[in-house]
Amino acid sequence: MAGGGAATATFAAALTSGASERFRPGRGKPEVVERLERAMSSGDADKVAACFAVDFTVVTPLHPSRGFTGNAQVRKNWAGIFALVPDHKGRLLRWSRGADGSIWTEWSMTGTTVAGAPYRAGGPAILTVEHGVIAAARFYLDQVGE
């Protein structure tokens, strides 16, 4: 994320502020985040979509036209990702719970495309969780450039 600016600064502040919960490897991850992390490495778009509410809404500030509503679109997007990157691995790097209950996350995604090229993406996502699924998100994730 070139010049991550305000989003990166805000994320860093959330991670270092007096947040009540912080990432510790192997402990304390919110359950839905743990399920999402496993699902992103499963090759199964249905498992990814199951982590999101039926009426899930995403805002993508870096690419406003990519925002959408509905976990059916989540399923479609991840089916495309898994078709392009069959060995896709998603890894949660860190997380923090915001004062408003939101879950601030940072992700790393890697794999090899069907054409044999390395695939790398990542960045922060701010999640709103309701009833054990992700109801809304602000995604700042993007492919990693050279």
Q: Which residues pair with 104 in a beta bridge?
A: 96, 126
More confident residue, 145 or 103: 103
Both tokens assigned to 98: 């915001």
Long-range contacts of 58-62 (CB under 8 A, 24+ apart): 58/136, 58/137, 58/138, 58/139, 59/136, 59/137, 59/138, 59/139, 60/138, 60/139, 60/140, 61/7, 61/138, 61/140, 62/1, 62/140, 62/142
Q: pLDDT, tens digit, for every residue of 71-102? A: 999 999 999 999 999 999 999 999 999 999 99
- With a threshold of 0.95, does the pTM exceed it? no
Give me the pLDDT at residue 142, please: 87
Instruction: Name the CATH topology of 5-143.
Output: Nuclear Transport Factor 2; Chain: A, (3.10.450)
Give me the pLDDT at residue 1, please: 39
Domain range annotation of the chain: 5-143
Q: Does the pLDDT of residue 54 top 80, yes or no? A: yes
H/E stretch holding 27: none
- Give the whole-angstrom CA distance, residue 44 versus residue 69: 20
